[in-house]
């Protein structure tokens, strides 16, 4: 699982930061899942290592323009490029009507297959490898946070060891890979767990924006390997955060601490903290680290590889 930040500004783009979008790359299945799609996202994709031809799912947190204005352009370009990939879009009520109105008035036809689903609290999607859940956040309009959970993977089967024990290849290997115990013709009982590497625990990534501090964000992020959380404002601008129902850096850190996550990555920064201003993003980072030390700031085109739990928990920034 690899995260690429395509836009880390709030409200409006700046010279250094585009508006909200992140891509979750799943290399083992050659898929890309996109979370939010602010204006200019397709241009950001072209400037990154993300392959739009692998785009299979889009998850929208809410219907504010800095999170959806790039959606129609991206979908239209995918259609014009002849991408045959089926694309599922999940988002709040009204998203499908918005897309239908855009296609009607722009006379756009999607040649690729697109299906829109309305997000509802709880289990949203599940397949043999992943689960996606969502919960409502607290913003001026309906908004959702998303949790992507990777299922545990069976450990690697030690083929050479099985051969050395004289176990014939074929159906028996399949049973042993599944952890079953088999009995050979000579009476030996072989336990599958003795021939497999330890199970690889699945990873969990959570994306929460836009929201003020809320318990549902803590619930959604419980035990996450990575929490991506908005930090629009500094703690010193908490009054603005409460007025506009956005988070401060300290609120994001409190969610991370309460949920027991491994890594907090803050994003969705107000342009008021641009270089040269009195308060800058380093101040937000210091505020958050005072509560949750394992915090970093996202920037456009930053790539973060989510580590396996038995490995190092330090970020890999490419």
Q: What pLDDT does 314 receive?
A: 38
Report helix, strand or coil for 126.
strand
Exactly one of 36, 66, 225, 237 is catalytic; name it. Answer: 66
Q: Per DSSP, which regions of the chain are E strands? A: 2-7, 21-26, 31-35, 55-59, 87-91, 114-118, 122-126, 130-136, 144-150, 181-183, 189-191, 204-208, 226-230, 263-267, 295-297, 303-305
How many other C-beta atoms lie within 10 A of the C-beta of residue 194? 12
| Residue 51 confidence class, pLDDT cut points 50, 70, 90 | very high
* pLDDT at residue 166, rounded to an integer: 87
pLDDT tens profile 196-210: 888 889 999 999 999
Query: pLDDT band for position 310 (50/70/90)?
Result: low
The contacts of residue 18 (CB under 8 Å, 6+ apart) are 6, 7, 8, 9, 38, 39, 40, 41, 43, 44, 300
| Cα gap 138→144, rounded to integer Å | 8
With pLDDT > 90 as the criterion, what percentage of the chain qualifies? 73
Name the band, by pLDDT with cuts 50, 70 and 90, for residue 25.
very high
Q: What is the average per-residue pLDDT within 289-298?
A: 98
H or E segment and range at residue 289: helix 281-289
Q: Taking a C-beta distance cutoff of 8 angstroms, is the pair 230, 255 a contact?
A: no
Nearby residues of 312 by Cβ (< 8 Å), 6 or more positions away: none
Looking at residue 112, its pLDDT comes to 62
Region 211-218: what's the mean pLDDT?
97
**What's the pLDDT tens digit per position in 228-270?**
999 999 999 999 999 999 999 999 999 999 999 999 999 999 9
> Please, are residues 226 and 294 in contact by the beta-carbon 8 Å criterion?
no
Confidence of residue 311 (pLDDT cuts 50, 70, 90): very low
Domain residue extents for the chain: 2-153+200-305, 159-195
Q: What would the pLDDT profile of 157-173 be if each residue is shown by its tens digit?
A: 888 888 888 888 888 88
Give 111-140 pLDDT, tens digit per residue.
Answer: 668 999 999 999 999 999 999 999 999 999
> What value does the CA radius of gyration of the chain take, rounded to a whole number of Å?
22
pLDDT above 70: residue 313: no
The answer to whether 297 touches 275, Cβ cutoff 8 Å, is: no
Tokens 């783009």 belong to residue: 13
Mean pLDDT, residues 5-10 taken together: 98
pLDDT at 178 over 90: no
Residue that wins the pLDDT comparison between 81 and 17:
17
Which residues, 6 or more positions from 194, have their beta carbon under 8 angstroms from its beta carbon? none
Q: Which fold has domain 2-153+200-305?
A: Metallo-beta-lactamase; Chain A (3.60.15)
Query: What are the helix (H) ranges across 86-214?
Result: 95-106, 159-164, 171-177
At 199 the three-state DSSP class reads coil
Higher-confidence residue of 46 and 196: namely 46
Is 36 one of the annotated active-site residues of the chain? no
pLDDT at 192 over 60: yes
pLDDT, residue 315, reads: 40
């Amino acid at each position: 699982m690899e995260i690429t930040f395509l836009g880390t500004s709030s409200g409006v783009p700046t010279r250094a930061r585009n508006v909200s979008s992140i891509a979750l790359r799943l290399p083992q299945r050659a898929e890309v899942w996109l979370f939010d799609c602010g204006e200019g996202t397709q241009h950001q994709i072209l400037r990154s290592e993300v392959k739009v031809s692998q785009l299979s799912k889009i998850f929208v947190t809410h219907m504010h323009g800095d999170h959806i204005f790039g959606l129609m352009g991206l979908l239209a370009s995918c259609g014009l490029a002849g991408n045959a990939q089926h694309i599922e879009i999940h988002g709040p009520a009204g998203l499908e009507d918005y897309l239908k109105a855009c296609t009607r008035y722009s006379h756009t036809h999607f040649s690729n297959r697109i299906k829109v689903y309305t997000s509802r609290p709880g289990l949203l999607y599940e397949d043999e490898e992943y689960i996606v859940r969502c919960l409502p956040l607290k913003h001026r309009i309906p908004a959702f946070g998303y949790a992507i959970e990777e299922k545990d993977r069976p450990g690697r089967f030690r083929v050479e060891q099985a051969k050395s024990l004289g176990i014939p290849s074929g159906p028996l290997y399949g049973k042993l890979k599944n952890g079953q115990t088999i009995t050979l013709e000579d009476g030996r009982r072989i336990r599958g767990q003795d021939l497999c590497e330890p199970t690889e625990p699945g990873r969990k990534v959570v994306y929460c924006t836009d929201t003020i501090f809320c318990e549902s964000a803590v619930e959604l992020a419980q035990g996450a390997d990575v929490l991506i959380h908005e930090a629009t404002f500094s703690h010193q601008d908490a009054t603005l955060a409460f007025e506009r129902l956005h988070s401060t850096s300290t609120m994001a850190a409190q969610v991370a601490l309460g949920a027991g996550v491994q890594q907090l990555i803050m994003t969705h920064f107000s342009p008021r903290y641009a270089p040269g201003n009195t308060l800058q993003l380093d101040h937000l980072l210091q505020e958050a680290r005072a509560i949750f030390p394992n915090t970093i700031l996202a920037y456009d085109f930053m790539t973060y590889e989510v580590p396996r739990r038995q490995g190092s928990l330090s970020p890999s920034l490419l």
